[in-house]
């Protein structure tokens, strides 16, 4: 198992591994919380571009520390056509270095720093975007994919 590989439950409780997608590129995006404004925008941007990613042989996986039930509601409400995985103990977030100390309104807490990783068909990391700003991020990722083909 590579250091990038992981196995997490999806919204239905099925175990999904990164290695399940060998032969395809995989966008793995980490986001703070279902149904918050920035995370909703990001998920909907990925949803709206999902056909373009699929045309580039690329699967989208979203990961947060939310429960499977929250993921089910989020997927249903926004008709998300990709898997959302639950990392409730944030082990995969720590593995990818996105579980970090954050500050908001003078309070410090640990949480997910919005980040996206592009994994190639062999399971190797080929691009990472850290501390992502939601606006234009999905189009940047898609442009990178188009340029790298």
Could you list the active site residues? 39
Burial of 126 (0-12, 13-18, 19+ CB in 10 A): middle
Question: Whole-angstrom Cα distance, residue 19 to residue 13?
Answer: 17
Cα(96)–Cα(106) distance, rounded to whole angstroms? Answer: 26
**Which residue carries 């999902």 as its tokens?**
50
DSSP letter string, 2-64: -TT--EEEBTTS-EEEGGGGTTSEEEEEE-S-TTSHHHHHHHHHHHHTHHHHHHTTEEEEEEE
What 3-state DSSP class applies to 130?
A: coil
């Amino acid at each position: 198992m590579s250091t990038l590989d992981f196995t997490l439950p999806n919204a239905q409780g099925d175990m999904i591994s990164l290695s399940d997608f060998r032969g395809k590129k995989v966008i793995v995006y980490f986001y703070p919380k279902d149904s918050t404004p920035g995370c909703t925008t990001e998920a909907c941007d990925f949803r709206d571009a999902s056909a373009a990613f699929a045309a580039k042989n690329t699967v989208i996986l979203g990961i947060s520390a939310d429960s499977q039930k929250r993921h089910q509601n989020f997927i249903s409400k926004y008709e998300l056509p990709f898997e959302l995985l639950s990392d409730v103990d944030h082990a995969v977030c720590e593995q990818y270095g996105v579980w970090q100390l954050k500050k908001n309104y003078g309070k410090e807490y640990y949480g997910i720093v919005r980040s996206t990783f592009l994994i190639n068909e062999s399971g190797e990391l080929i691009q990472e975007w850290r501390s992502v700003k939601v606006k234009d991020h999905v189009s940047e990722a898609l442009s990178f994919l188009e340029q790298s083909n």
